[in-house]
Amino acid sequence: MSDTATAAAHGIRIVLFDLDGTLADTAPDLADALNRTLELHGRPPLPYSRIRPEVSHGAGALIRLGFGGDFEPARQDLLRFYQADIHRKTGLFPGMEEVLGQLERHNIRWGVVTNKPSWLTNPLMAGLGLAGRAACVVSGDTTSNKKPHAEPILHACELAGGHAPGECLYIGDARRDIEAGHNAGAATLIALFGYLGENDRPDDWGADGAVERPEQILDWLVLPRPKQEK
């Protein structure tokens, strides 16, 4: 059986990734933006270890962390700082480039489904050199509903070639990602290397599996790892 046929035997024709905390490590740039916002408003900075677990939950969660509640002027400041330096420190998680390369070599399409708005998603994907490689990119404002609704994943399957949701694997680091996959009828994996907090209980999310490192995605798909890996 060929490698592609082996992966196809798993029923997967397209792999979709959450963006923040799954495909890319965006926390350093978002942490910088939050601390610059706190400084602007006369507040002390927060340690990176406190900020990282909140990154997957968006700008509102970061502002609540830093200010103890919703504060729209500060949220706008954070977004302005972040947009200006959106990929200064951001990169793919170690091993993720090899995963994408193997998917491409074995004719399995991949894309992104994120709640991040398109005016941030698109420049970030371009800055990472991924805009021309992804079969689809669905942002938080692409469809009428965001995750955990099924619509973004269903739309991504259509954009990527009309795939049935049962042929899709969705990978994310938050409960809503797994719920979105379930709601769409897709297989799901939890990215344990992402931005999980100490109160998260991923064993309770009902995913089809979990990976501690990106290259384990290939193991789950029954695809070989790149030859340079031992």
The CATH number given to whatever domain includes residue 119 is: 3.40.50.1000
Give tens-digit pLDDT for 126-182.
999 999 999 999 999 999 999 999 999 999 999 999 999 999 999 999 999 999 999
CA angle 178, 180, 181 (to 5 degrees): 65
pLDDT at 6: 46
Q: Say whether both 102 and 210 belong to one domain.
A: yes
Q: Say whether both 104 and 197 belong to one domain.
A: yes
Residue 217: pLDDT above 60?
yes
Mean pLDDT of 107-121: 97
With a threshold of 0.85, does the pTM exceed it? Answer: yes
| Residue 18 annotated as catalytic | yes
Task: Determine phi and psi for 28, rounding to 5 degrees.
Answer: -60, -45
Q: Say whether both 179 and 167 belong to one domain.
A: yes
Query: Is 228 a member of any domain?
Result: no
The CA distance from 4 to 223, in Å, is: 8
Query: Is 163 a member of any domain?
Result: yes
pLDDT at 227: 77
pLDDT at 125: 98
Measured CA distances, 55 to 4, 72, 147 (Å): 35, 17, 15
* Residue 89 vs residue 11, higher pLDDT: 89
Q: Which of 3, 20, 29, 77 is catalytic?
A: 20
Structural domain harbouring 21: 3-25+91-220
Q: Say whether both 60 and 141 belong to one domain.
A: no
Question: Mean pLDDT, the chain, as a whole number?
Answer: 94
Tracing tokens 């999310």 back to the chain, one arrives at 205
pLDDT band at 7 (very low <50, low <70, confident <90, very high): very low
Query: Is 142 a member of any domain?
Result: yes
Q: Say whether both 74 and 133 belong to one domain.
A: no
Mean pLDDT of 81-85: 98
pLDDT at 77: 98
| Residue 177 annotated as catalytic | no
The CA distance from 141 to 138, in Å, is: 8
pLDDT at 1: 33
The CA distance from 64 to 219, in Å, is: 38
Residues 6 or more apart whose Cβ sits within 8 Å of residue 143 = 151, 152, 155
pLDDT at 128: 97
Q: Say whether both 212 and 143 belong to one domain.
A: yes
Give tens-digit pLDDT for 17-55.
999 999 999 999 999 999 999 999 999 999 999 999 999
Q: Say whether both 125 and 61 belong to one domain.
A: no
Out of 68, 84, 100, a domain closes at 84
Q: Say whether both 125 and 13 belong to one domain.
A: yes
Give tens-digit pLDDT for 195-209.
999 999 999 999 999
Residue 2: pLDDT above 80?
no
Q: Which of 3, 18, 29, 173 is catalytic?
A: 18
Residue 88: pLDDT above 60?
yes
Q: Say whether both 98 and 184 belong to one domain.
A: yes
In terms of Cα–Cα distance, which of 118, 208, 109, 107 is closest to 158? 109
